A and B are shown apart, each in its own frame.
Chain A
């Protein structure tokens, strides 16, 4: 008996050791994180740029390492006792997340308001790196337990980052709301997971008794459990019904944090959601009537979440004058479009979402970085304060128009191609499945495009029409034009010149589902 335990332990350790090979890039990131801590304690006070440079360096190295250790097409081993799946799907999502974090570090470093923070900035970068580690693990998580842990690894640093501006009343309020909703959502998710564990005795959707267990439990109890699990996802991606934190956090948090939160957790959340849906589909099996009912219920829930997010986000955004708050509601609506993509599961829905997220990164990050610059340089937070800006800053108005048109989803920008890709998948899905729900969903997306035009366009039309109320505008110089151009040029490139290569490439990155 004793022998066998130690044998088991040894086998376990060997498997863990073997798994380490799959997460080299993450080890780089974690090493960077540790290095940053050491730097913060030792030279942080004297050499203020040490920690941000370490953070940027480790994120840069991380991106390089992800590319260097690009997973092969063949089925890879499941790492860490089937907890994570290292595949090209995850690797691509990691690139997006790493890039976002890099931009957020850059934005924070440029921020004067943050730099004069009483406690210094060191911790800020540390927490940001920690959050990035959590997000990249979300993209790989294939086990319910791992999903939950990764999610919490993101949430806890996220609370801290939001509260970094707690001296402002808005900042404190945002952080508190975020924590309360976050705790509720993750508690709900954990409760749902416990139900699923109760039904099946496993956290692994591809374990042998996962499907039969759920089928035996019946459609409605499983639907309940799934709804609770989806709640956790909804919180991370900022979709209905756990979207409440978005406007306050986006308004109250430091702008670099807001720009990060509007994109990176969404990428991670969708990465995890798609993997979860793909595994669930396979784990449930399609033969039994019960699994059919469960899946259909989940699709309905996702559709309701998608439609609700689009409508709520867009209608609420119509009335916003605070630029970041408007973008927050727009991000809720965008989560709705992305959720519609998740529903195209029979027709490369994963590729739709990956392309949309890529485009979303550029347009939304771009819009937030712009908002941050306006705040830092000119103290402009409201849309009406941008009146007549185009007269003095034509390039800013031009770039803003590109972001806004892309967010609306009109040609000649990548936002249009992202919507087009969604429609291609949607109709392919409709032809495969014959479900009218899909057509309704697409019609809702179109209607929302028209609604959203009104508030997106208001930003650029306020800049371009009307007479300026501010006498002296800030100079559009230094790093910010470069960063904004880096965000805007891909939007035009993928919008008009060539988008087929990227789309076709993403089509080959299906998440690997095997047990």
Chain B
């Protein structure tokens, strides 16, 4: 059993333990969950990191490969269909798995406060944990899809059972939206499986063996699809309903993953979900779940359909730009702190789209790094909103003034997180946003996306400064006063338990702002390799 399987099994084992624990022992349940997530993080650094010690040498350099024959369907005269339990990790997966294992202990620790049905809560949290990890390390498309769809179910219950007043509405909206995106991925997945064969198995068994292995569906560096079945549904140059089938597939997948990201105009589930979800769930949602969308766009949309990706990259960039600007503008007008952070999330995830669409090495590096950085920063931001909800059950920005004097430690963390999110140099947000712009401006004239998109996107950073600074001024400067319905006396500074949550995130924001190379060494070749792959189709 390899390191990656063990990583996936850890939450499952903890889940089994939890199921046999008595429901009443709330503290024990939380401890088991926190322990499992911590163990997961330790395992990551002890067992997985060493394989990546020297950085990743080449593009598509998958390590810790575990490939087990799982399911073989006989489809009669069509041939065989092979599904493998195939896990592996390249630089991009590495970064995102790292993000997951770092954020989950914080989420579990924050969940100690859960009062209602703790057993169900922690069981669902562990299931969610496992399926998110699975998404990032599955190489077989079928396996990826299982994790991808299964993720929705625990999330649905986690929002709907432990959230705010309109939580059930938010939960079902979340589920319907994201399911709408993912069911069409199923159609494309099956079509892809019929368009590519496994060269080794086909030769071995003497009949076409269709495959879900994503590596077989990618072209080589010269842009040649070696395993493509000529004339099959997603082979080059085939028409489907009057459109190029591969372009159609690209768009369907793009919409599916854009819903997850979420990009404007398919973002509307996100503010509802965030506003209604409890703090730890908001943290998972923003920090990890959204990254599955960005990951899917790189790995699947651009990785499997590079020619369509290159051809339609303008539209992806446009979607990124609209998300950046629209998210930022709407964030400016929010009264609820959590809603503002949710919209700022949309804006910051827009940079991921822009970076990918730039097709440039710097842009792709920036996109992946931005996912990590956004994970760290948004986790902190949602915890910040959570601190206020815990105290007064009131997140109305204008209800607060002069918190600085009352809560100095809290203010310090808020300041750093706000600055990191704004992209202040020296903090992590700056590095990835700069890389994205480096990529998207490109050689200016040679760039695949027009310069005006990049120019307008820069405004997103300006807007971010506006809403973050304005909020900060409103809430922290001046004389202390609180005008909401909550208890003003409850507004005391962070306790040690809460500080523990912020410290690791803040350290990461600062360290990665100064030494981005710590992360970049693991992923830069993996991410920029996609630029090389895509350059074959320019």
Contact = CB atoms under 8 A, between A and B. Distances in A.
Interface of A: 347-348, 351, 390-391, 394, 405, 410-412, 416, 419-420, 423-428, 430-431, 436, 439, 442-443, 446-447, 449-450, 453-454, 457, 461, 464-466, 496, 498-500, 503-504, 507
B74 A446 contact: no
Interface string B130-156: 000000000000000110011011001
A351 B75 CA distance: 10
A461 B190 contact: no
B161 A507 contact: no
A431 B79 CA distance: 13
Given A430-B233, A503-B73, A446 B187 contact: yes
A439 B156 contact: no
A500 B72 CA distance: 6
Contact of A464 (B74, B161, B231, B241): B161
A461 B191 CA distance: 33
Nearest to A432: B78
Contacts of B145: 411
B240 interface: yes
Interface string B191-207: 10110000000000000
Interface in B55-79: 71-76, 78
Contacts of A464: 120, 157, 160-161
Contact of B75 (A347, A449, A454): A347
B180 interface: yes
B179 interface: yes
A407 B348 CA distance: 37
Nearest to B241: A436
B409 interface: no
A436 B243 CA distance: 12
Interface string B175-187: 1100110011011
A504 B73 contact: yes
B120 A457 contact: no
B240 A453 contact: no
B146 A412 contact: yes
Contact of B71 (A443, A446, A498): A498
Given A394-B120, A436-B241, A454 B186 contact: no
Interface on chain A toward B: helix, strand, loop, or mixed SS? helix
B186 A423 contact: yes
A499 B146 CA distance: 14
Contacts of B81: 424
A419 B172 CA distance: 22
Nearest to B74: A504
B95 interface: no
B183 A454 contact: no
Contacts of A347: 75-76, 78
Contacts of A453: 175-176, 179
Given A457-B156, A464-B120, 13 more contacts: A410-B153, A411-B145, A411-B146, A411-B149, A412-B146, A427-B233, A442-B187, A453-B175, A453-B179, A464-B160, A503-B73, A504-B73, A504-B74
A116 to B, nearest CB: 38
B171 A439 contact: no
Contacts of B167: 465
A110 to B, nearest CB: 29
Given A411-B150, A454-B172, A498-B71, A391 B117 contact: yes
B168 interface: yes
Contacts of B334: none
B326 to A, nearest CB: 25
Nearest to A410: B149
A424 B71 contact: no
Nearest to A405: B153
Contacts of B83: 500
Interface in B319-340: none
A426 B75 CA distance: 12
A450 B186 contact: no
Query: Lowest 9 CB-CB distances: which A-B pairs, in order?
Result: A500-B71, A423-B190, A446-B183, A504-B74, A428-B78, A411-B146, A411-B149, A450-B180, A348-B76
Nearest to A398: B120
Nearest to A397: B120
Contacts of A390: 120
Given A411-B149, A428-B78, A503-B73, A446 B168 contact: no
B513 to A, nearest CB: 39
Contacts of A410: 149-150, 152-153, 179
A453 B186 CA distance: 16
Given A347-B76, A423-B190, A461 B172 contact: yes
A450 B190 contact: no
Contacts of B176: 450, 453-454
B160 A461 contact: yes
Contacts of B190: 420, 423-424, 426-427
Contacts of B268: none
A445 to B, nearest CB: 9
A46 B10 CA distance: 59
B3 interface: no
Nearest to B83: A500
Nearest to A505: B74
Contacts of A454: 172, 176
Contacts of A348: 75-76
B194 A428 contact: yes
A394 B233 CA distance: 45
A287 to B, nearest CB: 21
Contacts of B532: none
Contacts of A405: 153
B521 interface: no
The winner among A442, A449, A457 for most chain B CB atoms within 10 A is A457
B474 interface: no
B232 interface: yes
A415 to B, nearest CB: 12
Contacts of A427: 190-191, 194, 233
A507 B161 CA distance: 43
Contacts of A428: 75, 78, 194
Nearest to B117: A391
A134 B240 CA distance: 45
16 contacts: A347-B76, A410-B150, A410-B153, A412-B146, A412-B150, A420-B186, A423-B186, A424-B194, A426-B190, A427-B190, A428-B194, A431-B78, A449-B179, A450-B180, A496-B146, A507-B76
Contacts of A411: 145-146, 149-150
A431 to B, nearest CB: 6
Contacts of B184: 443, 446
Contacts of A498: 71
Contacts of A351: 76
B177 to A, nearest CB: 9
A498 B161 CA distance: 32
B75 A424 contact: yes
A160 to B, nearest CB: 42
Nearest to A394: B120
B183 A431 contact: no
Contact of B187 (A423, A465, A503): A423
Contact of A446 (B171, B186, B240, B241): B186
Contacts of A426: 190
Nearest to B162: A465
A473 to B, nearest CB: 16
A500 B161 contact: no
A391 B175 CA distance: 23
Interface in B68-107: 71-76, 78, 81, 83
